[in-house]
A and B are shown apart, each in its own frame.
Chain A
């Protein structure tokens, strides 16, 4: 037994054979051979974890942050002092486990490169050591003596020299989990405290476990950083938990020690190195395994009063009191979970801690998602559909199925457009587009653009209107030259006024203030992106709060962001008597508004050229400027439209939101203002935006994204959120958790459903009267045309209609006189505002007699970009759009 242990511990397969060796994902063996031929410059980093602290004094100020790591040194470097160890079971074992060291090293003592290695290993998916070899300098001491540990606390201790570990998981009153290492020479190393809340890898692992598992508490209480360390160790040595003192874990104990610390309770507790498991894929954990008989994790957790921690996990404490029944009745919950929630102890808990309920709600949501995923892997049968339809969530299940079907066989459709495909769209000689615009947009809408090969640099300029789709290569080149010159001119204009002081004092004051605002925001925009992270040049302005005297406070990209934003202000300034704005016929004079820096950063990062980024930003702002107007009317219009859209698409949810006082939809404000910039990761934002820029289905497809997000969470919202603050908090906290691909598919499904509903409503309201028939026909024709040939930038519904809109009167949004909506005949004069509750909603919830589609909703069928009034006025000869709400214009 000993012999085989030795082999596994050193990473060699028990019965070496070529094929097995090839398949093994365990590369320590490889390392040995490599290391022998190498110089002795480093040791191999196998695992590491950040934010493990030494607390040298009671004051938190003195805490030293560092990495705990498992490293491997060349097995030949056998420390001389292995012989005195009390438990030297066999010589060979000592050799193998002495080549693995458990180490702790303070963060600040690491050179940048080494720090990077530690971080990379920490963040790698560390079921097994990283495939790539990370070498770091050997740590100062191969073995520890008490004296040397006092200086820096850094240590590296051979596993063969570890006698036991004293492990205390995090708990109430002992907030941080800790590990104390006892050496075979009888001394203890300083306690290592795991600040899990700061440790990114632990947070991610926790999240993953919460997702993958039906058991929120893990196998053995809440997952924490120390569990990871134990897991590492178990790969290389035998770790036995003491039966007498469960906090003590013996490392490679002798028989005599094992007895001394109490007989292990079962043989299962004898942890063997996990060589077998490494080869198996990560086991998926279906519900039954986790909450099987005999180990009800909730009850177990209760005993250990972990609810205190749960309370910390979710800080909302304003929930109205509700019974556990509500959560438990979610039809998507697997029965075993439902049983758990009916557990009387759990019910008591929910009564005591409001936040426990929110936590459980989130947890239940995760489970529902999981079982969804599993269900989706099955083939749907008619029976499934019928069952779904009968359940309360039936409709949306079906929606998902529709969406699923849309994505089925769409692998090709959803493949990213790379440079090669993009180039094939254009005539090689002239550079003129040789497919339809619609075809290109369809590809980008469904597949996105390749993030790696630089195609975005080119394609975004088309999507953002810098290049005309009908242009040829030469035209584009000369356009770019002009645009560069114009950028320089615009930049020079504010520069002169500000730096050279040839401006009116009032004007100068305004620019100074704007500059201050931009400065503040740019320095806190996307700084986690490497491009914007560095501070390697001195700040040019000593009066700036970011100026560091004698040091570096900024980087060239931050400075360029600031310049581009200031140049945009210049571009957006109306003409005055002394100066005419020749660049922009429709200046809005918005000034800098928070959120603009969020919109610019991705564009700049893709272009990495200030002049080009500027013009691309100008293109983006054409549609976004309505979000930033002084009276906030553009935002209000969108929130109102969202309100109507939810009424139409999900009346039940709408009624619930109404009862929760949340139909102002304010909780979508952030998402709509900066197009979900704060909700998705950087890479997803680029993908989302380019899809939205295509206007492929609707120029306001972002509102369908909003409904898609809402629908995803409708059960939790309807089941548990009763007040505005709860809804707001819940939606705010979705940030970083939303899956983009499925959201896009769902949003498309919602759009299709919307389209059909509008059609149905129109048909219904048109049939009776002959007056309506004509316009109904027209309506349908337009929509058909649109469906068939997306390339014709269809005028679609909101064309200036032949008569005034007969749609619902919206008290908040006086859009009544606007002829933006197509006439829906036969309803004039009936005062047909459909009411669902106290809003006069656009299209009702399918409850009242006359149903019409409001102009706001109808505008969602259009692909014309909605821009601010003034411009629309000019752009549209008929002035059709000008009369309605401030943001209902059209153009392009």
Chain B
């Protein structure tokens, strides 16, 4: 039997309360949609095995409470993330406007090695609701994502399972790239100065 070295990709899902984080995760992992999810309190995660370019990897998707009041707790599980999924509701302008603060908060708390290149994916959820309620146009969202060093953007519906699979495939792919980079480049909490990168064994203390 071949070596079963496991790759675990840690993905954090963030966004305002009620945008559909729990629903998206459940649609993707369990292929189920329910209107009766309760507001998430604390944090939970689901895992899913996926194949990325013939590699089997395990994605660990972290679902969190959406209210900003609980964000100070994020540090307990943001660390070690390989990708961050930012979700907003295309029918709620406020949830789009807060994307930046979610992103900033994540970068502060997770403190990845290279914040500039850390992979994010933006999902505009609830596109099934219909045009008459839609508040954020595709164009506006695309422009935003392009201006943030080209974050991949998907319009999805957890309810209809529109684009969910495709979006998370990109999440998996980008997370794997990140993980591989981390493997060579060292972990999050590595205290070493960047210039010493290549000889990191020298002073790990």
Residues of A with Cβ closer than 8 Å to B? 315-318, 352, 354, 513, 517, 520-521, 524-525, 527-528, 545, 593-595, 597-598, 628, 630-632, 664, 666-667, 669-670, 673-674, 678, 724-725, 728-729, 732
> B41 to A670, Cβ gap below 8 A?
yes
Contact flag A524-B60 (CB < 8 Å), given A315-B46, A678-B41:
no
Min distance, Cβ A421 to any Cβ of chain B, angstroms? 35
A-chain residues with CB within 8 Å of residue B39 when the two chains form the complex:
520-521, 524-525, 594-595, 597-598
> B42 to A632, Cβ gap below 8 A?
no
Contact flag A670-B42 (CB < 8 Å), given A317-B49, A318-B47, A664-B76:
yes
Among the 9-residue stretches B67-75, B99-107, B162-170, the one with 4 or more Cβ atoms under 8 Å from chain A is B67-75
Min distance, Cβ B67 to any Cβ of chain A, angstroms? 5
Q: Is residue B117 within 8 Å, beta carbon to beta carbon, of the partner chain?
A: no
> A669 to B41, Cβ gap below 8 A?
yes
> B42 to A669, Cβ gap below 8 A?
yes
> A594 to B70, Cβ gap below 8 A?
yes
One of A317, A520, A628 near B18 (C-beta < 8 A) = A520
Contact flag A594-B47 (CB < 8 Å), given A318-B8, A524-B39, A670-B41:
no
Between A and B, 13 residue pairs with Cβ closer than 8 Å are A316-B47, A517-B17, A517-B67, A520-B18, A521-B18, A527-B36, A594-B67, A598-B39, A669-B41, A673-B41, A678-B38, A728-B45, A729-B44
Q: Is residue B29 within 8 Å, beta carbon to beta carbon, of the partner chain?
A: yes
B residues 6-48 in Cβ contact with A at 8 Å: 6, 8, 17-18, 29, 36-39, 41-48
> Could you tell me the distance between the alpha carbons of A581 and B65 in the complex, rounded to whole angstroms?
31
> A669 to B47, Cβ gap below 8 A?
no
Q: Is residue B58 within 8 Å, beta carbon to beta carbon, of the partner chain?
A: yes
Q: Is residue B174 within 8 Å, beta carbon to beta carbon, of the partner chain?
A: no
Min distance, Cβ B82 to any Cβ of chain A, angstroms? 13
> A632 to B36, Cβ gap below 8 A?
no
One of A318, A517, A630 near B60 (C-beta < 8 A) = A318
> B38 to A525, Cβ gap below 8 A?
yes
A-chain residues with CB within 8 Å of residue B44 when the two chains form the complex:
728-729, 732
> Could you tell me the distance between the alpha carbons of A172 and B71 in the complex, rounded to whole angstroms?
41
**Which 4 pairs from chain A and chain B are nearest by CB?**
A670-B42, A669-B42, A520-B18, A670-B41
Q: Is residue B125 within 8 Å, beta carbon to beta carbon, of the partner chain?
A: no
> Could you tell me the distance between the alpha carbons of A667 and B46 in the complex, rounded to whole angstroms?
15
Q: Which chain B residue lies CB-closest to A670?
A: B42
Most chain B CB neighbours (cut-off 10 Å) among A315, A527, A674: A315
A-chain residues with CB within 8 Å of residue B4 when the two chains form the complex:
352
Q: Which chain B residue lies CB-closest to A525?
A: B38
> B38 to A630, Cβ gap below 8 A?
no
B-chain residues with CB within 8 Å of residue A631 when the two chains form the complex:
72
> Could you tell me the distance between the alpha carbons of A673 and B65 in the complex, rounded to whole angstroms?
12
Q: Is residue B91 within 8 Å, beta carbon to beta carbon, of the partner chain?
A: yes
> A674 to B41, Cβ gap below 8 A?
yes
> A520 to B91, Cβ gap below 8 A?
no
One of B36, B48, B73 near A524 (C-beta < 8 A) = B36
> Could you tell me the distance between the alpha carbons of A678 and B92 in the complex, rounded to whole angstroms?
28
A-chain residues with CB within 8 Å of residue B41 when the two chains form the complex:
594-595, 598, 669-670, 673-674, 678
> Could you tell me the distance between the alpha carbons of A674 and B36 in the complex, rounded to whole angstroms?
18
> B60 to A725, Cβ gap below 8 A?
yes
B-chain residues with CB within 8 Å of residue A724 when the two chains form the complex:
76-77
Min distance, Cβ A139 to any Cβ of chain B, angstroms? 30
> B73 to A669, Cβ gap below 8 A?
yes
A-chain residues with CB within 8 Å of residue B70 when the two chains form the complex:
594, 632
Q: Which chain B residue lies CB-closest to A674?
A: B41
Contact flag A524-B38 (CB < 8 Å), given A317-B58, A545-B91, A725-B45:
yes
> Could you tell me the distance between the alpha carbons of A140 and B91 in the complex, rounded to whole angstroms?
46
Residues of B with Cβ closer than 8 Å to A? 4, 6, 8, 17-18, 29, 36-39, 41-49, 58, 60, 65-67, 69-70, 72-73, 76-77, 91-92, 94, 129, 133
One of B69, B94, B133 near A632 (C-beta < 8 A) = B69
Q: Which chain A residue lies CB-closest to B19?
A: A520
One of B17, B48, B94, B133 near A594 (C-beta < 8 A) = B17
Given contacts A317-B49, A545-B129, 20 further A-B contacts (CB under 8 A): A315-B48, A354-B6, A517-B17, A524-B37, A525-B39, A593-B69, A594-B66, A594-B69, A598-B39, A632-B73, A666-B42, A666-B73, A669-B73, A673-B42, A674-B41, A678-B38, A678-B41, A724-B77, A725-B77, A732-B44
B-chain residues with CB within 8 Å of residue A524 when the two chains form the complex:
36-39
Min distance, Cβ A203 to any Cβ of chain B, angstroms? 14
Q: Which chain A residue lies CB-closest to B68?
A: A630
Most chain A CB neighbours (cut-off 10 Å) among B6, B38, B44, B77: B38
Q: Which chain B residue lies CB-closest to A311?
A: B49
Min distance, Cβ A634 to any Cβ of chain B, angstroms? 12
> Could you tell me the distance between the alpha carbons of A678 and B45 in the complex, rounded to whole angstroms?
16
Min distance, Cβ B198 to any Cβ of chain A, angstroms? 29
Q: Which chain B residue lies CB-closest to A522?
A: B39
B-chain residues with CB within 8 Å of residue A517 when the two chains form the complex:
17, 67
A-chain residues with CB within 8 Å of residue B92 when the two chains form the complex:
545
> Could you tell me the distance between the alpha carbons of A354 and B47 in the complex, rounded to whole angstroms?
12
Q: Which chain A residue lies CB-closest to B46?
A: A315
B-chain residues with CB within 8 Å of residue A317 when the two chains form the complex:
6, 8, 47, 49, 58
B-chain residues with CB within 8 Å of residue A669 when the two chains form the complex:
41-43, 73
> Could you tell me the distance between the alpha carbons of A209 and B129 in the complex, rounded to whole angstroms?
42
Q: Which chain B residue lies CB-closest to A527?
A: B36
> Could you tell me the distance between the alpha carbons of A528 and B49 in the complex, rounded to whole angstroms?
32
> Could you tell me the distance between the alpha carbons of A728 and B17 in the complex, rounded to whole angstroms?
21
B-chain residues with CB within 8 Å of residue A666 when the two chains form the complex:
42-43, 73, 76-77
Min distance, Cβ A541 to any Cβ of chain B, angstroms? 14
One of B8, B42, B69 near A630 (C-beta < 8 A) = B69
Q: Which chain B residue lies CB-closest to A352?
A: B4
Min distance, Cβ A885 to any Cβ of chain B, angstroms? 16
B-chain residues with CB within 8 Å of residue A725 when the two chains form the complex:
45, 60, 77
Min distance, Cβ A549 to any Cβ of chain B, angstroms? 10
A-chain residues with CB within 8 Å of residue B42 when the two chains form the complex:
666-667, 669-670, 673, 732
Q: Which chain B residue lies CB-closest to A354?
A: B6
Min distance, Cβ B68 to any Cβ of chain A, angstroms? 9
A-chain residues with CB within 8 Å of residue B133 when the two chains form the complex:
545
> Could you tell me the distance between the alpha carbons of A662 and B4 in the complex, rounded to whole angstroms?
27
> Could you tell me the distance between the alpha carbons of A594 and B40 in the complex, rounded to whole angstroms?
8
A-chain residues with CB within 8 Å of residue B91 when the two chains form the complex:
545
> Could you tell me the distance between the alpha carbons of A724 and B65 in the complex, rounded to whole angstroms?
18
B-chain residues with CB within 8 Å of residue A728 when the two chains form the complex:
43-45
Contact flag A594-B36 (CB < 8 Å), given A670-B42, A725-B60:
no
A-chain residues with CB within 8 Å of residue B66 when the two chains form the complex:
594
> Could you tell me the distance between the alpha carbons of A318 and B10 in the complex, rounded to whole angstroms?
11
Q: Which chain B residue lies CB-closest to A672?
A: B42
Min distance, Cβ A135 to any Cβ of chain B, angstroms? 31
Q: Which chain A residue lies CB-closest to B59?
A: A317
Q: Which chain B residue lies CB-closest to A592?
A: B67
One of A593, A667, A674 near B67 (C-beta < 8 A) = A593
> Could you tell me the distance between the alpha carbons of A632 and B42 in the complex, rounded to whole angstroms?
12
> Could you tell me the distance between the alpha carbons of A602 and B122 in the complex, rounded to whole angstroms?
37
Min distance, Cβ B45 to any Cβ of chain A, angstroms? 7
> Could you tell me the distance between the alpha carbons of A54 and B1 in the complex, rounded to whole angstroms?
41
> A729 to B45, Cβ gap below 8 A?
yes
